[in-house]
Amino acid sequence: MQWMLKIMLFMLILLGIGCESKPSDATAEPGTTQLSSATPVPAEFQKGEAAFNINCARCHGGSGRGTDQGPTFLNRVYHPNHHGDQAFYRAAMQGVRAHHWKFGDMPPVEGMTKDLMVEVISYIRWLQRKAGIY
Q: Considering the complex, what minimum distance in angstroms separates the CB of residue 78 from ligand HEC?
A: 7
Q: Considering the complex, what minimum distance in angstroms separates the CB of residue 132 from ligand HEC?
A: 19
First to last CA, the chain: 32
Question: Judged by CB under 6 A, does residue 59 bind ligand HEC?
Answer: yes
Q: Considering the complex, what minimum distance in angstroms separates the CB of residue 87 from ligand HEC?
A: 4
Residue 63: which of 118, 120, 127 has the closest Cα?
127
Question: Judged by CB under 6 A, does residue 69 bind ligand HEC?
Answer: yes
Contacts of 48 (CB under 8 A, 6+ apart): 119, 120, 121, 122, 123, 124, 126
Scanning 9-17, 26-34, 92-100, 125-133 for contacts with ligand HEC by CB under 6 A, the matching segment is 92-100
Q: Considering the complex, what minimum distance in angstroms separates the CB of residue 62 from ligand HEC?
A: 13
For the chain, state the CA radius of gyration: 17
The dihedral sign for the CA sequence 41, 47, 50, 56: negative
Among 74, 106, 127, 131, binds ligand HEC (CB under 6 A): 106
CA dist 31 → 99, 131, 133 (Å): 17, 11, 9
Using CB under 6 A, list all residues that contact ligand HEC.
55-56, 58-60, 69-71, 83, 87-88, 91-92, 96, 98-101, 103-104, 106-107, 109, 112, 120
